[in-house]
Structure 1
Amino acid sequence: MPRPRGRRSIPLRRTTLWWSGRTGRLLLERAASFVPAWLEKLRPETVLQVGQPLLWSKPPESKAIWVLLNEGSVCVNTAYLQTLGNCENLPFAAMRFDLVILPFCLSRVSDPAAVLAECRRVLRPEGHVLVLDFNPSGSLGMLRRWHVWRRDRSWPWRRPFLSLGQLRRLLDQEDLMIREGRYFQYTLPGLGRNAQWLELVGDRWWPAGANAYMLLAQRRDAEQPLVGLVEPAFRQRRRRKLRAQAPAAQRLRDDDA
């Protein structure tokens, strides 16, 4: 038993070192700037994040219950509720979460379809899954192929990156409807913050050349209508209407008395 754990810890250490480097930090900072706006629209009550890296030192939505699936790596952050498990066999009951976040997870597993099937299982009806992953046509995708060709053992990403077309087909197989998406982070590895102008140029003229993408999909249930991102606003309007009717009903009862 000790030997397999040692073999598993080597890629985990490589991945941790890569995310703590300059290229990994820039990618996480860019992703962390987009996700809170989507969380504000969804307003989930329970969130599951599958694996690391952590986009924030603490969850951006303090009212939500935020669970982190720890797959064996060391995470001393106590702002998340942590549980040990495997992303291909989630240790949770069905229909448990409103939102599942997959931060750069599908490109490092052998069976992405099994991970998405587990995500759909633990999602509540009309729940959402947010996928963040590497874009194979970006500069990081070309850098990965170069490292693999050189047989660089320090490079953490050995498997091919999952393209957006492949992800769309996998989501459709699991009855997960795409709601929103975007490319992000165009800075070339090694240029650092001096090349932030590439973010504006790339987003306008070459979106497919980004290093990463994020895609929001929603669980589709045949027996229930798919409300989507407008569900929170609909519930707010309904609550306001009920509150407006309550005082009038109270006055009628007082007059009858």
Structure 2
Amino acid sequence: MHDWLASPPGQYLLAWERVQMAQAVANVFGYHALQLGLPELDALEANRMPHRWLATPTPAEATILPQESATSPRVALVTDFSALPFSANSLDLVVMPHALELSADPHGVLREVARVLVPEGRVVICGLNPLSMWGFCQRRPNWFSWMGAQRLLLPSAGECIGYLRLRDWLSLLNLEIEDSQFGCYRPACSSQAWLQRFNWMDKAGARWWPILGSVYCLVAVKRVRSMTLINPARKAVRRLAVAPVTVANSSGNMRATGQNDIQT
């Protein structure tokens, strides 16, 4: 996928995702943020957290830097995305640009992200939409050879994860979708000239077929449901009122007294 990202459609994809990431992470506050994969995109550039890391699955990818951040290297660590070296409830923000599609265990990656996120923490996910022209090109690359898109967008082991399918996975982990956007409606042409010919499809697609965008970007929040314990023992004890009664003393006189004065 790294070679494809250097092509005109790959740059077109990165440009759209860079804008969406900047809007999604700009107003997310906290202390610790993590980006999983895709070092070509500095997804945390617009974020202002003091601690920001980039995690890659291989050492070779840790040396890749985006053109915009070539003078300011980011902290990179090599780890398995399904076994992150962070304690539970320790990260405020996790950004996943195409990390699920390129992972052999996307369910395990999502569970691990839900584990390390703090309550009300956010996760930003970008992925290719299978219900789009690019998704169809991923499954039938030879059908679009006339546009030069004979190569797969994702590696042969990669799989496009649909938006509705991902939404069900997130709901099982108590990750509530806060915002979602679709984009990149142009065909995956191999030349910049062909991409410019279809630039009108971005505005038309956003208006007439928004859910058929080639790429989606969503923001989900980790919700932790709290409860208030109702303890009957904490209720105030209702005391009986002391009613006066008439008793006779040893001298035979009658007087009114309370129950506390009665001696047996």
Which interval holds the TM-score relative to the shorter structure?
0.7 to 0.9
Q: Distance in 1 between matches of 2:181 and 2:15?
A: 16
- Answer yes or no: is 1:100 the counterpart of 2:94: yes
| Equivalent in the alignment of 2:216 | 213
Q: Distance in 2 between matches of 1:134 and 1:224?
A: 38
Instruction: Name the aligned partner's letter for residue 174 of structure 1.
Output: L
- Answer yes or no: is 1:42 the counterpart of 2:41: no
- Flag structure 1 segments of 5+ consecutive residues without an equivalent: 1-14, 226-257
Q: Distance in 2 between matches of 1:45 and 1:22?
A: 36
The offset of 1:160, in angstroms, is 3.1
Q: Is the 8 A contact 1:59 1:80 kept in 2?
A: no
Q: Is the 8 A contact 1:47 1:97 kept in 2?
A: yes
- Deviation string for 1:61-113 (max 9, x for gaps)? 35442110021133334532111101111122222211101101112223211
Instruction: Name the aligned partner's letter for residue 184 of structure 1.
Output: G
| Equivalent in the alignment of 2:155 | 157
- Deviation string for 1:34-77 (max 9, x for gaps)? 22122223234321101114323972235442110021133334
| Equivalent in the alignment of 1:203 | 206
Q: Is the 8 A contact 1:184 1:210 kept in 2?
A: yes
Instruction: Name the aligned partner's letter for residue 15 of structure 2.
Output: E
Could you tell me which of 135, 160, 165 is aligned with 1:141? Answer: 135
| Equivalent in the alignment of 1:114 | 108
TM-score when normalising by structure 1: 0.74
Q: Distance in 1 between matches of 2:202 and 2:196?
A: 11
| Equivalent in the alignment of 1:30 | 16
Change (3 A) 1:169 1:67: same
- Flag structure 2 segments of 5+ consecutive residues without an equivalent: 66-71, 229-264
Instruction: Name the aligned partner's letter for residue 216 of structure 1.
Output: V
Q: Is the 8 A contact 1:120 1:174 kept in 2?
A: yes
| Equivalent in the alignment of 1:166 | 165
Q: Distance in 2 between matches of 1:148 and 1:139?
A: 13
The offset of 1:196, in angstroms, is 2.2
TM-score when normalising by structure 2: 0.72
The Cα RMSD (Å) is 2.5
Change (3 A) 1:64 1:200: farther
| Equivalent in the alignment of 2:262 | none
Q: Is the 8 A contact 2:182 2:215 kept in 1?
A: yes
Instruction: Name the aligned partner's letter for residue 200 of structure 2.
Output: W
- Deviation string for 1:197-243 (max 9, x for gaps)? 21111001011221110111111112289xxxxxxxxxxxxxxxxxx
Bigger Cα Rg = 2
Instruction: Name the aligned partner's letter for residue 103 of structure 1.
Output: P
Q: Distance in 2 between matches of 1:224 and 1:48?
A: 30
Instruction: Name the aligned partner's letter for residue 130 of structure 1.
Output: V
